[in-house]
């Protein structure tokens, strides 16, 4: 039997070199997938190489379809193509842009030869890098403000979409000639006709599995998901620079999406406060969705929100915000004279326990004890992680106590969205054990802190009705008094005529309705800081088992996608990390930011010392949240000021 000689690989230990040098057979597809997901690879990520050549902030990165080319674009108006495995520059394209390049994309299925760029000069260009000269083969200057992001679809090699700070999303078809005179029907979305005074589209994404679905993020708290099949392209009126402007041609309603065409997504605690500006203060004006991406299977949307956290939305099984929905109390429930009369209390309130006292496995009991110890020491991040791990180990069943303990830690920590997350945990605890008195009490306190006064009072009254023996409990009486005081204050504010309405009265009624119907998040990822730039990314990594994002502290973060727990933090930039782009096939990351270098990260030998991995996770996270809850633009270095537009 003839045997093929083994291919000599020399001393190479870089698995990605081996894989890219061979045909992608089925077995190799399985191997590549394992290389993306194997924990031991993710555990040993370290800096592999620095790619030098740019002379400005590197604002965007993009892998080719086959993963063999990395494109980077910068404030220096250059697009550079790299061989990521040999760490060599393949091509240096000097573009005609006169503003910072914010986005670069390969048009799919075109041999990776066509590149699209969008920049701060309001223009987009298409280049064929196989041509002898670098002159663009197509250009568009229809946008009147900076082009922040481009999107392509893996199922359509001829089209791309551009998102601009003029509030427009334009659709480009490279098969059709284009002249920027307003004669082409290329306007897909115009936020200005139905949103607020000065909407800016910051990011855009196309569902890889359902290309008719297009999502955008703007300079507000909402992620908008459109069905392109229900939208007719419009023309740009160059005389007014508005599409359907009510003040010019009275056709504003023609630019408003049809019913069923758009779905809004927003963290429940933010959407509930949108009508009350006094609750948010000046920080509200800085919130924006800086990056969006779909999960590879197209079932989720990941949104990075400025001056806030990263949120994951389930678009196939959406959930609406939940503030008060007490489970039905079983008729066989013990009355107040017998329920919990000998149980311990918290904050002055006697507490119930689970309906049945569960004995957990030793490893779960250990996590519980460690979580309780961390909570007593005000180590809230550690406590929350321990309770989360315990919930995962018991698969969310018969563990109301862990949800309630986590809610307690969240309320005490008090970072953005923590109290609302505590409300959600209280509801879960009550679904698992409707007899849990402490969960009723904690829920009422959380609702009070969210200024949901009516709901807090209803919850407290229901607690007393279900458990009459607690009516005179000192903690219950104190909470009842606090709710009454806040309701009196609210009544005085109402009588004084102070309006909390912040919406522009010219907003379309449909827009108001869509906001009220916004879908809540499924998971959130906390730890990074996103305030100083508006192009900060967040992406899926490791076959979607992890989430990665950059941060204002010069680090990039890796979270467990399922638990939200921080897996690791790496120091990747002297100032700010904006871009974190995972390789499409292997366990490799490319990062960039304010520094002029592009950095590649991959698994390294565990025998080598970890040079870039951060060990003091708690301190880094706490510092980031402190900075984020202060004035987000309180301090800039000269270089940050130059790159502020990023």
Looking at residue 552, its pLDDT comes to 96
> What count of other Cβ atoms lies within 10 Å of the Cβ of residue 107?
22
Are 181 and 238 within 8 A, CB to CB?
yes
What's the Cα-to-Cα distance from 362 to each of 335, 384, 393, 403, 429, rounded to whole Å?
Answer: 33, 19, 11, 19, 22
**Angle, vertex CA 116, rays to CA 103 and CA 142, nearest 5:** 85
What's the Cα-to-Cα distance from 37 to each of 406, 499, 560, 587, rounded to whole Å?
Answer: 28, 52, 12, 8
- Structurally, at CATH architecture level, domain 45-239+257-319+520-628 sits in 7 Propeller (2.130)
- Hey, what are 339's tokens? 């329920």
Burial of 502 (0-12, 13-18, 19+ CB in 10 A): middle
| Helix ranges, 245-361 (H) | 268-273
Looking at residue 139, its pLDDT comes to 95
Alpha-carbon distance of 381 to 527, in angstroms, equals 10
What's the half-sphere exposure (Cβ side, CA atoms, 13 Å) at 268?
22
Q: What values do phi and psi take at 182, rounded to 5?
A: 80, 5
SS3 per residue for 131-171: CCCCCCCEEECCCCCCEEEEEEECCEEEEEEEEECCCEEEE
List the one residue out of 169, 205, 173 whose CA is nearest residue 189: 169
Sign of the torsion angle spanned by Cα atoms 378, 381, 387, 389: negative
Please report where in the chains the tokens 């986005």 appear, as a residue.
103
CATH match of 358-493 with 1.25.40.10? yes
**Angle, vertex CA 569, rays to CA 563 and CA 574, nearest 5:** 145
Looking at residue 631, its pLDDT comes to 57
Alpha-carbon distance of 324 to 444, in angstroms, equals 9
Report the first-to-last Cα separation within the chain, whole angstroms: 62
Q: What values do phi and psi take at 601, rounded to 5?
A: -125, 135
Please report where in the chains the tokens 């090699």 appear, as a residue.
157
Looking at residue 267, its pLDDT comes to 95
DSSP 349: E
Looking at residue 476, its pLDDT comes to 93
Looking at residue 291, its pLDDT comes to 98
- Hey, what are 335's tokens? 């009355």
With b for 16 or more beta-carbon neighbours within 10 A and e for fewer, the 47-57 pattern comes to bbbebebbebb
H or E segment at 626?
A: helix 617-629
Q: What are the start and end residues of each CATH 1.25.40.10 domain in the chain?
A: 358-493
List the one residue out of 560, 563, 559, 562 whose CA is nearest residue 550: 559
Please identify every stretch of the chain with a pLDDT value under 50, giving residue numbers as ranges.
1-13, 15-25, 239-252, 275-282, 332-354, 356, 498-505, 634-642, 644-646
Looking at residue 58, its pLDDT comes to 97
| Helix ranges, 11-167 (H) | 15-20, 26-37, 39-43
- Hey, what are 244's tokens? 């359907």
Pairing assessment for the beta strands 58-63 and 589-593 based on DSSP bridges? unpaired
Looking at residue 189, its pLDDT comes to 95
Are 521 and 311 within 8 A, CB to CB?
yes
Looking at residue 630, its pLDDT comes to 76
| pTM as predicted | 0.87
Q: What are the start and end residues of each CATH 2.130.10.10 domain in the chain?
A: 45-239+257-319+520-628
């Amino acid at each position: 039997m003839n045997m093929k000689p083994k291919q000599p690989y020399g001393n190479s230990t870089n698995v990605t070199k081996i894989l890219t040098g061979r045909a992608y057979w089925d077995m190799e597809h399985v191997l590549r997938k394992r290389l993306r997901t194997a924990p031991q690879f993710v555990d040993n990520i370290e800096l592999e190489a620095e790619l030098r050549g740019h002379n400005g902030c590197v604002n965007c990165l993009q892998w080719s379809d086959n993963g063999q080319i990395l494109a980077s674009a910068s404030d220096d108006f250059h697009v550079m193509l790299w061989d990521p495995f040999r760490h060599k520059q393949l091509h240096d394209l000097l573009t005609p842009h006169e503003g910072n390049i914010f986005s670069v994309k390969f048009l799919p299925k075109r041999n990776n030869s066509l590149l699209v760029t969008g920049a701060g000069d309001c223009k987009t260009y298409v280049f064929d890098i196989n041509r002898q000269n670098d002159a663009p083969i197509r250009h568009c200057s229809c946008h009147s403000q900076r082009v922040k992001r481009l999107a392509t679809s893996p199922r359509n090699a001829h089209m791309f979409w551009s998102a601009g700070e003029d509030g427009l999303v334009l659709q480009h078809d490279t098969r059709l000639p284009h002249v920027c005179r307003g004669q082409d029907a290329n306007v897909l979305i115009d936020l200005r006709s139905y949103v607020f005074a000065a909407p800016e589209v910051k990011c855009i994404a196309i569902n890889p599995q359902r290309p008719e679905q297009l999502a955008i993020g703007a300079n507000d708290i909402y992620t908008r998901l459109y069905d392109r099949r229900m939208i007719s392209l419009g023309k740009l009126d160059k005389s007014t620079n508005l599409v359907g402007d009510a003040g010019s041609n009275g056709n504003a309603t023609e630019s408003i999406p049809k019913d069923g065409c758009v779905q809004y997504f927003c963290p429940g605690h933010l959407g509930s406060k949108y009508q009350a500006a006094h609750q948010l203060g000046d920080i509200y004006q800085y919130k924006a969705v800086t990056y969006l991406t779909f999960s590879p299977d197209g079932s989720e949307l990941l949104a990075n929100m400025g001056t806030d956290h990263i949120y994951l939305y389930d678009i196939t099984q959406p959930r609406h915000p939940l503030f008060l929905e007490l489970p039905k109390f079983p008729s066989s429930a013990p009355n107040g004279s017998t329920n919990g009369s000998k149980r311990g209390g918290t904050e002055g309130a006697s507490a119930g326990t689970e309906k049945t006292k569960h004995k957990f496995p030793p490893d779960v009991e250990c996590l519980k004890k460690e979580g309780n110890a961390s909570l007593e020491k005000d180590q809230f991040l550690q406590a929350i992680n321990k309770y989360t791990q315990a919930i995962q180990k018991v698969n969310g069943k018969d563990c109301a106590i862990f949800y309630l303990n986590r809610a307690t830690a969240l309320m005490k920590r008090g970072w953005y969205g923590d109290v609302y997350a505590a409300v959600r945990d209280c509801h879960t605890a009550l679904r698992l054990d409707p007899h849990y008195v402490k969960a009723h009490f904690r829920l009422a306190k959380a609702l009070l802190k969210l200024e949901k006064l009516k709901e807090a009072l209803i919850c407290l009254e229901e607690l007393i009705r279900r458990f009459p023996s607690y009516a005179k409990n000192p903690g219950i009486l104190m909470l009842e008094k606090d709710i009454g005081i806040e309701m009196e204050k609210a009544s005085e504010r109402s009588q004084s005529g102070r309006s909390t309405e912040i919406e522009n009265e010219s907003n379309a009624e449909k827009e108001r309705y869509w906001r009220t119907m916004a879908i809540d998040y499924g998971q959130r990822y906390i730890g990074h800081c996103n305030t100083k730039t508006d192009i900060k990314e967040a992406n899926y990594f490791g076959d979607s088992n992890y989430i990665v994002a950059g941060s204002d502290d010069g680090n990039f973060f890796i979270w467990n996608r399922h638990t939200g727990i921080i897996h690791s933090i790496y120091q990747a930039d002297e100032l700010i990390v904006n871009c974190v782009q995972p390789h499409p096939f292997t366990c490799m990351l490319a990062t960039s930011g304010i520094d002029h270098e592009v950095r590649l990260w991959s698994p390294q030998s565990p025998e080598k010392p970890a040079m870039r991995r951060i060990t003091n996770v708690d301190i880094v996270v706490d510092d980031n949240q402190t900075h984020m809850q202060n004035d987000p633009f309180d301090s800039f270095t000269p270089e940050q000021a130059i790159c502020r537009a990023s």
